Amino acid sequence: MYGWHNGGLPFSLHYHDAARWLFVLLLFSGLLSTGWFGIPLIPRYFIGTVDIVSGIFALFSALGTIWGIMAYREFTKSAGAVIDARLAARRLDPTIGDYEYKSYNPMTREYEDGFVPSGPVDFWDKETTVPAWMDKGKYWHILLSLQSPGREIRLQVVRDRDLPFGSGMRNVAVTSRDQSEEGRIMNRYIVKIPQWLVMNTERGRFSGHEAEGPELSALIADVNRKIVAATNEVAGWERLRVRYPWRFMTFVIYLNKSLPLRIVYRQVIRNFPGAKERKIYETNANLANVGDDELVVSIMELAQKKKKIPPARMAQIQTLVRFLKNAYTRQGLGEGASEYHNFHHSLEVAYVAMQLLPDYFRGYEFGPKDYELLLVAGLLHDYDPAQELGSNSGKPKGPSAARTVQEVQRTRIHDAYFTMTNAEFEEYFRQYRSSPSSSLQPPEDYATTHPERVKSDWTPTESLIIETLIWRTDFPFFKQKLAQEKYSALLSQLKDNGKVNLLAEVLWLADLSVTYMVSDPVRAWDRVNNLYDELFLPKLEAVSRTDAFFADFADLPLYRELLAQRGFPDVFRRRWNLIYQFFHEGNPSTPLNRTIEMARKIYFKVNVELGMRRGEMLQEIASENWSEYFIGIGKDQSEVLKAKSRLAELDPQNASAFWGDVQKLLPSIPDGAIDNFLIVMPGRVETLATQEEKSRIETRLSVLVKKLAQGGAVKILTDIDGNSPQFLELMSAAGRAGLAPSDEGKQYFPAGWTDPDFAESPRVITLAPRPAEIATKA
């Protein structure tokens, strides 16, 4: 077996093949041994003389046969999942697995083969760029799956030949211990995985593919499904490697994977008392990453056990879910899809909506029928087979409420749901072969709709309610005149319209907020940006108008009441509060301090530009000083987002930008953590004419003194005349703060830099703490 000294412990298909042949041998040996010892026992049993020893041998031989069969099946399934995923990925992108890519490691000051995020910024931040062939979500899912207490994981995406996959041991993944001094101290492990396991399957990447339309959608869906299966397999093996990092444990892991008792236990445990209750709790905690099938199981358990929806209606829901799963999969929006409006999103909305609505609220009592309506509407609210996936037509790529309602009315899927028995409803989705060549093949289930089979020539009230709820989810609702008109018209036709309006608003709130309840702040930011990209809305608006987006619903009394109700899962409430604070208050002090902490470990110096006005200057400074790390803090969200895009082009990646109020963020920075503060100070902006302005600059400089590291300085680029009262006020404030002019250190600012707010040619003023201030800090 490979050990740490030979490059790590591999998940090897060669070992899998050896294990399979070993258990094939065990299978046939067990069969022969069972026959040898067992057959003679049969006549002896009837004459009353039984050979105990032969009986024991026969029993254990039979158990060995069962072990061989089940273990062979387990290892065949494991290897097959990996091979199928690679073949499917290569059919879609023949180059995947062979892309050249190198990542700069600031700790070693060298480039490494493959992709590995080594910078101090958050993985989901805009500055952490990934190659076009890679999906951040798939990478993040594997990284989370590998987490183990007391271990730090570096996930490295490499070419097939770097594992190697196609020859020798045919490694799918390799886990090794980081042999650097810091790696040994921090218990750091490097896990190498192939490119196709984190492949980006966005439809836009394959506009030139020979397959088109439905054929391309089916190909993408097949790749996503198989990558998910392979990912679960690889993550399961490598998680054990990290948790038990000893060579002899390879044998133990293989033995554990093969045991029939373990395989049977996994099936039996699902039916133990309390297992389903724990499943809902686990789903709540990991909703963004749980698989579609697991989420469906949790939805069914929640609907039947907690919301008391009758079993007969649950069968209808199950049938509807199966059809929608196939429909989304055919569009390339099924398991593992990168697009925002995929099947998982619809499941999330339905799941959260049921938990958001209590049994009794605002004078209304909600029973099983109401929760069923909410669930069905949540499942159908984005069902739009006509959406322009990957289109270059300039139209939004995502679903439209108008098209969704039109499709629902055309197929009469909601009428069928509420008027048919389950057997009839399954028949409604069944597709029969029409061509003579395929007439002998069995019909395909959950593949089409038959509106002509809906007997009723009228629309049930429940169907009108479903349409009403769908119209209310149109985004952004208060800017969609058609949606508002249709919603009001349908609502006026319903008797208990107050209750229906409340149901509709709960679904609308769940649709808007589910992204923020299931993700960490930075990943939520990324998902919202993807949503704006899908809708062809300005990406700048996704960030700069986040407060306005929240204002549509976050401050509504209804939403606050729903979040405060006792039955709502606390994990969702905590995530929402965290993200609301992150976006609404604009104070990302936690990621900022984490970035500073990491940067100090791997770069010579950490420098911060306060009040960053434009990212071009910081980009130029960082590119000229690649061994130091630079952070820009700006209040203008649009400029910060532009700066993030610019800084992402740096190689090495040694700069990042943060949006926030400098006055709020400065106090949270650890004392002695910053080597240099950079400030651009045009005279016409910082006039220092009023007492308030003088006090503010003195207070800020006083805080900067505490944050400076030994030998640090404040660098000010300004056009203020050195003989003006304004300059004298600046120097006076600096003196009172404990700073004095200095000629030491780099200037950093680009020579000849111009700014529209500069009236004259600027110069650099360096202010360093006076010796007394340094002694006080020490």
Write the pLDDT tens digit of every residue in 205-236: 888 888 887 788 888 888 988 998 899 899 98
The answer to whether residues 245 and 355 belong to one domain is no
Cα–Cα distance between 413 and 429 in angstroms, integer?
Answer: 9
Token pair recorded at residue 482: 């058609």
- Please name the residue ranges forming H helices in 331-420: 343-356, 368-380, 401-411, 413-419
Contact assessment for residue 634 and residue 657, using Cβ atoms and an 8 Å cutoff: yes
Burial status of residue 306 (CB atoms within 10 A of its CB: 0-12, 13-18, 19 or more): middle
The answer to whether residues 107 and 236 belong to one domain is yes
Contact assessment for residue 197 and residue 85, using Cβ atoms and an 8 Å cutoff: yes
Which one, of 154, 155, 125, 182, lies nearest residue 631 by Cα?
Answer: 125
Contact assessment for residue 746 and residue 605, using Cβ atoms and an 8 Å cutoff: no
Contact assessment for residue 240 and residue 151, using Cβ atoms and an 8 Å cutoff: no
Contact assessment for residue 291 and residue 228, using Cβ atoms and an 8 Å cutoff: yes
pLDDT digits (tens, 9 = 90+) for 294-349: 999 999 999 998 899 999 999 999 999 999 999 998 888 888 777 788 899 999 99
Residue 776 clears pLDDT 70, i.e. is over it: no
The answer to whether residues 364 and 426 belong to one domain is yes
pLDDT digits (tens, 9 = 90+) for 364-421: 999 999 999 999 999 999 999 887 554 445 555 678 899 999 999 999 999 999 999 9
Q: Point out the domain boundary residue: 232, 260, 288.
A: 260
pLDDT at 773: 54
What whole-number percentage of the chain has pLDDT above 90?
44
**What mean pLDDT do residues 126-155 have?**
85
The answer to whether residues 176 and 31 belong to one domain is no
| DSSP 8-state assignment for residue 567 | T
**What mean pLDDT do residues 152-164 have?**
93
Cα–Cα distance between 578 and 594 in angstroms, integer?
Answer: 16
Cα–Cα distance between 260 and 586 in angstroms, integer?
Answer: 54
| DSSP 8-state assignment for residue 305 | I
How, if at all, do strands 152-158 and 102-105 pair? unpaired
Amino acid residing at 370: D
Which one, of 343, 366, 340, 341, lies nearest residue 355 by Cα?
Answer: 366
The answer to whether residues 667 and 766 belong to one domain is yes
Does 268 map to a domain? Answer: no
Which positions ≥6 away from 656 have C-beta within 8 Å?
A: 119, 120, 121, 125, 127, 595, 630, 631, 632, 644, 647
Q: Point out the domain boundary residue: 455, 484, 504.
A: 504
pLDDT digits (tens, 9 = 90+) for 21-76: 999 999 898 888 888 877 777 776 666 666 777 778 888 888 888 888 888 998 99
The answer to whether residues 183 and 218 belong to one domain is yes
Phi, then psi, of 176 in degrees rounded to 5: -135, 155
**What mean pLDDT do residues 490-510 have?**
94
Contact assessment for residue 178 and residue 154, using Cβ atoms and an 8 Å cutoff: yes
pLDDT at 547: 53
pLDDT at 3: 44
Which positions ≥6 away from 132 have C-beta within 8 Å?
A: 200, 205
- Please name the residue ranges forming H helices in 545-627: 546-551, 557-564, 570-584, 589-602, 615-624
**Does 147 or 327 have the greater pLDDT score?**
327
Cα–Cα distance between 466 and 460 in angstroms, integer?
Answer: 10
Does 580 map to a domain? Answer: no
The answer to whether residues 71 and 18 belong to one domain is yes
Amino acid residing at 608: V
CA R_g for the chain: 31
pLDDT digits (tens, 9 = 90+) for 256-268: 888 776 666 666 6
Which positions ≥6 away from 120 have C-beta within 8 Å?
A: 594, 595, 596, 597, 598, 599, 601, 602, 603, 629, 656
The answer to whether residues 86 and 107 belong to one domain is no
Which one, of 227, 199, 224, lies nearest residue 83 by Cα?
Answer: 227
Q: Which residues pair with 193 in a beta bridge?
A: 157
Phi, then psi, of 575 in degrees rounded to 5: -65, -40
The answer to whether residues 121 and 73 belong to one domain is no
Q: Is 385 helix (H, G, I), strand (E, B) or coil?
A: coil
pLDDT digits (tens, 9 = 90+) for 424-464: 999 999 988 766 555 567 888 998 999 999 987 778 999 99
Amino acid residing at 629: Y
Measure Cα distances from 469 to 69, 350, 381, 494 in Å.
51, 12, 8, 12
Does 5 map to a domain? Answer: no
Token pair recorded at residue 614: 């434009």
Residue whose entry in the numeric block shows the structure tokens 């808007």: 512
**CB neighbours (10 Å) of residue 728?**
13
Contact assessment for residue 502 and residue 576, using Cβ atoms and an 8 Å cutoff: no
Mean pLDDT for all residues in the chain: 85
pLDDT at 636: 82
pTM summary value: 0.71
The answer to whether residues 353 and 240 belong to one domain is no
How, if at all, do strands 708-718 and 110-113 pair? unpaired
Least confident of 171-175, 201-205, 226-230, 600-604: 201-205
pLDDT at 515: 80
User: From the centroid of its chain, how far is CA 496?
Assistant: 39
Q: Is the peptide bond between 460 and the residue preceding it cis, with omega within 30 degrees of 0?
A: no
Least confident of 27-31, 545-549, 674-678: 545-549
pLDDT at 386: 83
Contact assessment for residue 510 and residue 377, using Cβ atoms and an 8 Å cutoff: no
Does 725 map to a domain? Answer: yes
Question: Which contiguous run of DSSP H or E holds residue 769?
Answer: strand 763-769
Q: How many CA atoms lie within 13 A of 659 on its CB side?
A: 23
pLDDT at 331: 85
Phi, then psi, of 647 in degrees rounded to 5: -65, -25
Measure Cα distances from 580 to 415, 576, 667 in Å.
39, 6, 21
pLDDT at 4: 44
Q: Point out the domain boundary residue: 23, 58, 92.
A: 92
pLDDT at 680: 92
What whole-number percentage of the chain has pLDDT above 70?
85
Question: What DSSP assignment string belongs to 121-189?
Answer: S-TTSTTS---TTB-HHHHHHHHHHT--TT-EEEEEEE-GGGTTSSSTT-EEEEEEE--SHHHHHHTEE
The answer to whether residues 210 and 349 belong to one domain is no
Contact assessment for residue 350 and residue 379, using Cβ atoms and an 8 Å cutoff: yes
pLDDT at 325: 94
Helix axes 481-493, 461-472, angle to 10 degrees: 150
Does 631 map to a domain? Answer: yes
Maximum CA extent, the chain: 121
Residue 2 clears pLDDT 50, i.e. is over it: no
Phi, then psi, of 315 in degrees rounded to 5: -65, -40
Number of domains present in the structure of the chain:
4
Residue 501 clears pLDDT 70, i.e. is over it: yes
Contact assessment for residue 650 and residue 603, using Cβ atoms and an 8 Å cutoff: no
Does 539 map to a domain? Answer: no
**What mean pLDDT do residues 618-640 have?**
90
Domain region containing 383 = 273-504
Which one, of 381, 427, 429, 389, lies nearest residue 408 by Cα?
Answer: 381
Amino acid residing at 721: D
Which positions ≥6 away from 484 have C-beta within 8 Å?
A: 477, 478
Report the b/e string of 168-202 with b at 16+ CB within 10 A.
ebbbbbbbbbbeeeebeeeebbbbbbbbbbbbbbb
Give residue 270's pLDDT band: very low, low, confident or very high (50, 70, 90).
low
Domain with residue 638: its CATH number is 3.40.50.150
Does 498 map to a domain? Answer: yes
- Please name the residue ranges forming H helices in 606-747: 615-624, 637-647, 662-665, 691-707, 725-737
The answer to whether residues 494 and 602 belong to one domain is no
Contact assessment for residue 162 and residue 7, using Cβ atoms and an 8 Å cutoff: no
- Residues shown for the chain: 778
Does 527 map to a domain? Answer: no
